[in-house]
A and B are shown apart, each in its own frame.
Chain A
């Protein structure tokens, strides 16, 4: 795994439908400044900048690393862009961490963002090439059949997705940065909303958000303040079209989890991990990823959700922050998971803090569930 790496600063914008008051540069700057303030550092303390965003068509910004160099204080420093669809936020953190682990730099600023209000992600995901007749409409249209197949295989009752939709929005009420705040959220409310891409209901989907998230990563000798130590990092990918590919329980996700657990010394994730921030953009992905990430046996994930194990007061809270279901600036969503995991083990998660959290998982996935990025962070130096 290389040299030790720690998160020493986290900065987030308040996620919302439309940030009309700032440019994209202003948005990323806001998150970066907060991360620097958290670390007690200034721009001159940063050696390199890594930036991540969703695919170019999402906002029509093709070279964000060129456009945002000034806003991120990157003049005269290495700067690069990471590009792995929805998992990009997680991959951005991991590329930044690798620059520390490899001994190249002592302090790296990682930033990811999305300003969904400038365009339309569903349009960007539904650009149909000539000669083909694709019928996939947006991310929901893509993932709905795989959720249906999970329900068939596991025999999970219909209300499991509803439970996740309610739980994550209840958690969001405790997170000042969360976008969706629905104080009266209930199963009845979720079930009264229409099916968009059956079996996915409106309130079982993530919102469209504007926002940015940033972290300052540090080598051991450059640590300031309260560190979250990186205990393991892993990325995996797999081709979207491959015979025998399991789209419900992808091999890439299983392999990525096994790798990151091995590095962090996690034998039983449910027992050894205190809190997990997992990329759940559609509510049914909680039980699906509970199985993919080894928190439950295949076909059993929904029982953890149903039994309340993943609630804030459960034995393995998932998405204490409210998760992607409550805030979804797509390019940043993975980085937010990683940052929230760090906040938990630093004891800085505020009202949604899981008491005594010492080891946390951050997870992101992207594309057609074909890119995976994960890290484990802990309060104790490895």
Chain B
């Protein structure tokens, strides 16, 4: 385990998480959430939990992003608050 790589990915996870809840554009939030899931997937893989990483990649970064984009497409793109 290379700690520099670990810290870099952890920083990206934090930025993606904060970005996903603060950004006003919901489509952007969906994409940021997908990026967050992918970074988490990398972290799981670094920690040796390959099964969890696989699930995170397929469910978190793959299908749930599609669901969010579909939901944004059928509702509004801007948040009210």
Q: Are the chains A and B members of one assembly?
A: no
The interface of chain A, by Cβ under 8 A from chain B, is none
